[in-house]
Structure formats: structure tokens, C-alpha cells
Amino acid sequence: MYNYQFDGRYFAQAPGKMEAMCADELRELGATDVEAAYRGVYFSADKATLYRINYMSRMLSRVLAPLISIRCRDTEELTATSRKIAWETFFTVDQTFAITASVTKSSINNSLYAAQCLKDGIVDHFRDVSRGVRPSVETVNPDVRLNLHIEEDRAVISLDTSGESLHKRGYRLLAGEAPMQETLAAAIIRQTGWDGETPLWDCMCGSGTLLCEALMHYCRMPAQLLRRNFGFFYLPDFEEKTWKNVKAECDAQMRPLPRGLISGSDISPAAVSVAKENLSRLPYSEAVTLKRQAFQRVKEFENGTLLANPPYGIRMGELEEVKLLYTELGDFIKQHCKGSTAFIYMGDPELRKSIGLKTSRRIPLVNGKLEGVLVRIDSYEGSKKPYYAEYKAQENEEETTKGSDRGE
């Protein structure tokens, strides 16, 4: 009996700064004994709940099922122990596998070498039981993913029940210059508290990641609706009937999207085209309104939820132009978004000063290597004075893309 079978405990990996949100989501999906930790969450679950979490979670990265935990001071011990595990109950010699390893505060201090030693033990085991035949390692798209974590000379070998990272929904085959990870976009939608009672508009939609996640959120669409393979399929006690029941129950909760409730726009025609392509892979996407339009040309957006992930000036190398864009966005919110609430994600928190508006909330959220922040701005009474006197309305929109061609 493996560890997860004995105690029903799992470890969910969480993106940076999202541990508490992931813990809440796990509870909502039926997990118990939830305990947030650094870059992850420990929890208990039965089989149905484990399957549901993998299928429905919008913010988790991976869910690991611990197989064994051993005292491990050297790689020889690691190889010898892994050789004793009945790997043929997880996958066959005709299937592929990959190993992700991490080490900290241990006698074994090289994660790549540790992964190699675990691989050697697995291969040796298959050779012992399969007359010299062994499975192959495939790092790009393996059938089975294993995880090795060594901390303070204790090694935990786990099977990744998710398979591919859960941020890969399957709808985004195209991305812009600075893509926002899907799990971060889902976290932003969650933090807005948007429930579909008011319109939602992403005024710089880029490749449409926020729009896709808003669509999935409103429609109660499983985050992995488009996925066909999960790591839990390879657990020795996987129950296909239970999985089919869970999937059917989750799919039955979906609802259509009213036309015009979600909209997006971008000054870049290429970005709008990419957003449209990505959205097209999801059900009900025809109800999302997309326009090639600069937000500065919109007369008003009242009593709704405004989203924006403006450029950061890092990849573009034109910080002053980016600061001006943030100032224009702040003026637009103040003067033309009466009764609306704006949520702006900034890869560089210092750019908040350029908006020139008071923020009611600041939520740290990581996007890759960027230590960003999501800010909330409440717009109450809007001003009627003209905006952007310097903005030349007669200019052709095709010529105003400088400093704004970016994507999530």
C-alpha cells in the first residue's frame, strides 16, 4: 500500500502568492484537512474528490500523490529503494515517463543527478521483471510524470496525478509577447468577485486569456474540459467508473453565456485575431464581444467590472510610453467608468503611481518571474469633462499601436 492509499493525503502545487486562494478552492471542491504550505497545499481526499480537483481546479499547478517517503542520505540508497517499487502497476514498458526533482538542505544536493538515480532504479526494476525490456524517458509529453522531492535527507517519491501542468487548458495555442499564465488569470477573475450580474470588459485583452477564464468561470466550465489525459489514470487503484461519474456531474453544471456580458478589446488587430482564435476552442465563446479598439475611444463603461493587463515596459524597453498609457488608463477610469470597479494587473508595482488613482486593494500575484500586483480601483462619480485633450481623435487607429502591442 502506497502512502496516499494509506492516509488519503496529497500535495497540490500552487503558483507563487496563491497558496491561500488554492486552499480555499480545494475546500470548495471537497478536500478536507487542508493545510497551506510554501508553494503548495496539503489536503485529504477520496478518489472522486481527487478526480474532481484535477478536472475543475482553476488555480492549482499540479496534484501529487505520495508513493513512498524514505530516509535518504545518498543516491545509492535512492536507486536501491526505487528499484523495489512495483512500477509495472503504474505503467508498462511501452509507455514513457519523466521525472521532476528538487532538493534542499540535504546531503544529496544535485536535483538532476537525483532524478537520474531514480530513473536508474525504475529502469533496473523493469529489466528485472520484463526480461531486460525497459520503458523510455520522454521529457516533452510523457505518459507518466513522477516527482522526487528531497528535503533534510528525506525523499518523497510521488506520482503526478495531473499529468501536464493544470495551467494548460488546451484553448491557448497562440499567445502574445508577454503571456499571462492561465492560473493567474483565473486568480484575477476570482479576486474580482465578478458573478455575472454586471458586464465585464477587458480593455487590453491581448491574446484573450482573461476573457477565456472569465467565460469558463461564468459558464461553470471545468478548467480541463478539453483535456483527454490525466496522471491519475495511471494510479494502480484508478476507478474509471468513478471518474466518468465525476466528469458527467461536473459537465452537467455548465450553463450558456448571455451575449454581450463579456467583452474584450485591443488596439492591436493581431491581438484581437489571436484572442478570437483562442476563444473559439471553448463552448459559448460566440457570445463574447471582441473589438479592435483603443480604450481611449470608448465613451463610457458604467456599472461594470473593468479588467486590464497593460504592458510593463520590461520587454518593450519604452518605460515612459508605458507610464503615459497608465496615466491615460487612470484618467479613463476616473472620467468614464462611473459605478464601475477596475482591476489592473501590473507586472511592475511601481507603475501604480502612474495611474494617479487611489487603490482600495493591492494583491501580490506572481506571473512567471514577475512579482506583480493586482490593484482594485473603485470609480464612483464620473467626471463629464473631455478626456485626453492631447489625444487626436482624427488619427487613424491603425497608426496608434506604438507602445500597446502586447498579449496575455
User: pLDDT digits over 208-258, tens only?
Assistant: 999 999 999 999 999 999 999 999 999 999 999 999 999 999 999 999 999
Our CA dihedral for 40, 45, 51, 53, rounded to 10 degrees, sits at -40
Residue by residue, DSSP assigns 344-397 as EEESSGGGHHHH-S--SEEEEEEETTEEEEEEEEE--SPP-S---TTS-TTS-G
Residue 337 in contact with residue 382, Cβ under 8 Å?
A: yes
Q: Give the phi and the psi of residue 15 in degrees, each rounded to 5.
A: -60, 160
Q: How far apart are CA 169 and CA 191, in angstroms?
A: 20
**Looking at residue 173, what is its pLDDT?**
85
Chunked mean pLDDT (size 10), the chain, 408 residues: 96 95 98 96 98 98 97 93 95 96 94 96 95 92 96 96 96 78 97 96 96 98 97 98 98 97 96 96 97 95 96 68 93 95 91 91 89 91 35 32 40
Cβ count within 10 A of residue 392: 9
**Looking at residue 86, what is its pLDDT?**
96
**Residues sharing a CB contact under 8 Å with residue 320, sequence separation 6 or more, in sequence order:** none
Q: How far apart are CA 371 and CA 376, in angstroms?
A: 17
Q: How far apart are CA 183 and CA 368, in angstroms?
A: 11
**Looking at residue 321, what is its pLDDT?**
87
